[in-house]
């Protein structure tokens, strides 16, 4: 997972988060945040990234294990 922060043209910051979904596909989330500083936008992106990671863990645990007979 990675978090990239770049300035938004009309004020604020654009936070870009890239992660892998439980099925292995690469996902991307982009969001404009209206916090004052770049570091605050990066912290927001890291918190969102942690939420995604927790969701991924819950989904992986909920998936039944295949029978190996």
Spatial contact of 48 and 30, defined as CB atoms under 8 Å apart:
no
**CA 60, 61, 63, 64 torsion: positive or negative?**
positive
- Which tokens hold the place of 27? 């996902």
Report the predicted TM-score, pTM, of the whole model to 2 decimal places. Answer: 0.70
Contact of 11 with 42, CB cutoff 8 Å:
no
pLDDT digit string, tens, across residues 4-46: 999 998 889 999 998 887 788 888 999 999 899 999 999 999 9
């Amino acid at each position: 997972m990675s978090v990239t922060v770049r300035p938004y043209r009309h004020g604020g910051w654009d936070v870009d988060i890239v992660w892998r979904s439980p099925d292995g596909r690469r996902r991307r989330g982009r969001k404009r945040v209206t916090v004052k500083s770049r570091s605050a936008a990066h912290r927001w992106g890291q918190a969102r990234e942690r939420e995604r990671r927790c969701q991924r863990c819950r989904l992986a645990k909920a998936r039944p294990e295949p029978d190996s007979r």
